[in-house]
Amino acid sequence: MDPNNNIELPDYDEEMVDDEPTLEQLENSLLETSNDDAMGKKKKLVDAISSALESAEDALLNNLKESQQLVINSATTSDEAFEANEKRRAFLKSRIESLKDQKNSYQEKRKVVNIPKNLPLLQLIGDLDAIKNKTCYETIDKFIDTFEMIILQHSLEVETAWEPCFISTIQHSLDKSAWYRNTLMKRNYGWTYAKNIIKTKFSGDRSQSHYLQQLIEMTAARNDNPIQFIEKFYNTLQSTGSQDSAAYGTILLRALQQHHPDFVKQVRLVNASTKKEQRPELTVAFISDIAPILSVEELISERRNNNHYSRKSSTTFKKERQLESAPYSKSDKFKGKDKKCFYCSEVWTPTHRCQAYVDYKSKQYEKKARMAQLDKDQIKEEVQKVLEEKYKAKKSQDIDMTDVNLSDLELKKI
C-alpha cells in the first residue's frame, strides 16, 4: 500500500481532497468489485490520480518559486527555512513520480508474462518456512540482485513483469503471501517503489550492520588465495554502502596477517616506497590493485625455491645410492693415493687435522660478524638509490609501481 496516501499532505493537497474519496479508498474499492463494475471505478481512479498529479505539479512549481525567493532573501533567511523547502521539494518529486507510475500502470493493458522457471525463492537465513535444498539468502539485497538478474536473463521488463514473477518467489510461504496480498497486490506500483517496500519489510537497516559485522569477523585461512580473499572482502565492503578508507584497509591487512604475513609486508613496503607527498592511502581499493602484481612475484620466488630443493634432494639421493652400491669401504678408496690438503699442501689422510683450515674458517666467521653489524641506515641508502635509478628514467613525476621490481626493494638476508 502506498504510504504516501496515508501521509497528511500540506495545504496544497487540501484543495484536491474535498468530499471525494481518497486514492486509497478508490484502490480498495476497486479490489473488492467484480469485473463488471471494475471498469467504471478504474476510470474514476485514473481521473483522481490525474487530478492529484496536476495539484502536485502546481505545488512543485510554487515550491521552486519559493526557493528562488529564499535565495534572494538569503541574508535574512534562516537555515531551517531552506531545509524545510528542500524536504518539501523532495516529497513532491517522489509523490509525482509515484502518481505517474500508478497512472501509467492503470492505463496500460497488462501483458502476458512468461514466468521464468529458475526464479529464486524469497527465503532468508533463519526463516521457519524455508524449503530445504533451496538457496537461503543472507540479506534481502542479495535476493533482489538475483531476482533482477534472472528477469534480465529472460529479456523481460522489470517494471511490468516484477509482480507476476515476485508471486512465484513467495508462494511457498503463507505469511509472505498474506503480506503481499495486503500490501502490493494489484496496487500497480513500479518496481523501484515496490523494491523499497520489500527492502523495508524484510531488511530495514539490518543489511548494513550485517555486512559490517561480516567484515570485522573475516579472516584469511592458510589455504586461501590472497587475491580471492581481497576480492571477497572488497565486494562485502561495497555491499555495506560505506565509503572506502584507510581504516578498512587496516582491517583487511589484519585479516591477512595471521597466515599471509609475507604478503602483508610486501603491501606495506610498496606503500612506503612511494614519496610521502605522492603516497596514496592504504585503502582496500589500493590493496586490490597491487595484489595481482605481488602474487606473481611471490609465485615466481616459490617456484624457484621448489626447483632448488628438488635438484638438491635428487643429487643427494644419487650420491647415497652410489655409496650404498660401492663394493669397498670409504677408507679403501684413499689407499695408494697421494692427495694434498687444499689449505696446508700436506699429504691428506682421513685422520688429517689442518690448522690452516681452522684459521680460514675463523676468518670467515669474523667477516660474517662484521657484515651483520652494518648500520641499517646504509641499507636504507642502498634501497633509496635503487628507487632513484628507477624514477630518473621517467619523464613525468607520477610513479607507476608496476615498473618497480619488488625483488630490489626487499632487504637481502646476510
On the question of pLDDT at 62 being above 60, the answer is yes
pLDDT, greater one: 236 or 109 = 236
pLDDT for the residue 24 = 57
**pLDDT average, residue stretch 158-164:** 88
- The torsion of the CA quartet 173, 176, 182, 183, rounded to 10 degrees, works out to -150
pLDDT for the residue 289 = 85
What is the average pLDDT score of the chain?
74
Q: pLDDT by residue (tens digit) across 268-287? A: 888 888 777 788 888 888 88
User: What proportions of the chain, in percent to the nearest 5, are helix, strand and coil?
Assistant: 65, 0, 35
With 0-12 / 13-18 / 19 or more C-beta atoms within 10 angstroms meaning exposed / middle / buried, residue 56 is buried
Q: How far is CA 206 from CA 40, 203, 237, 344, in A?
A: 43, 6, 15, 82
Any residues with CB less than 8 A from the CB of 134 and at least 6 apart, and which? 121, 123
Give me 12's grid cell. 496544497
pLDDT for the residue 356 = 82
pLDDT for the residue 304 = 55
CB distance 406 to 296 below 8 Å: no
Q: pLDDT by residue (tens digit) across 177-188? A: 999 999 988 787
Specify the amino acid at residue 17.
V
Report CA 216 to chain centroid distance, whole Å.
14
CB atoms within 10 A of CB 118: 8
Beta bridge mates, 347: 340
pLDDT, greater one: 75 or 28 = 75
pLDDT for the residue 8 = 42
Query: How many whole angstroms separate alpha carbon 347 and alpha carbon 227?
Result: 61
CB distance 191 to 158 below 8 Å: yes
pLDDT for the residue 46 = 74
Helix (H) or strand (E) holding 217: helix 206-217
Query: In the Cβ-directed half-sphere of 335, how many Cα atoms lie within 13 Å?
Result: 5
Query: How many whole angstroms separate alpha carbon 309 and alpha carbon 312?
Result: 5
CB atoms within 10 A of CB 290: 18
Beta bridge mates, 137: 124
Of 17, 200, 191, nearest in space to 104 by CA: 191
| DSSP result, 50-66 | HHHHHHHHHHHHHHHHH
Q: How confident is the model at residue 34 (pLDDT cuts 50, 70, 90)?
A: very low
pLDDT for the residue 16 = 40
| DSSP result, 329-349 | -TTGGGTT---B-TTT-SBP-
**pLDDT average, residue stretch 339-352:** 78
pLDDT for the residue 408 = 58
Query: How many whole angstroms separate alpha carbon 393 and alpha carbon 403?
Result: 11
Helix (H) or strand (E) holding 341: none
CB distance 187 to 1 below 8 Å: yes
SS3 category, 2: coil
Q: pLDDT by residue (tens digit) across 287-312? A: 888 888 776 555 555 555 555 555 55
CB distance 50 to 58 below 8 Å: no
Domain ranges of the chain: 3-107, 109-204, 208-294
pLDDT for the residue 118 = 92
pLDDT for the residue 377 = 62
On the question of pLDDT at 149 being above 90, the answer is yes
Give whichever of 83-87, 169-173, 323-327, 365-369 has the largest mean pLDDT. Answer: 169-173
Q: Among 173-177, 204-208, 326-330, 376-380, name the one with the lowest average pLDDT.
A: 326-330
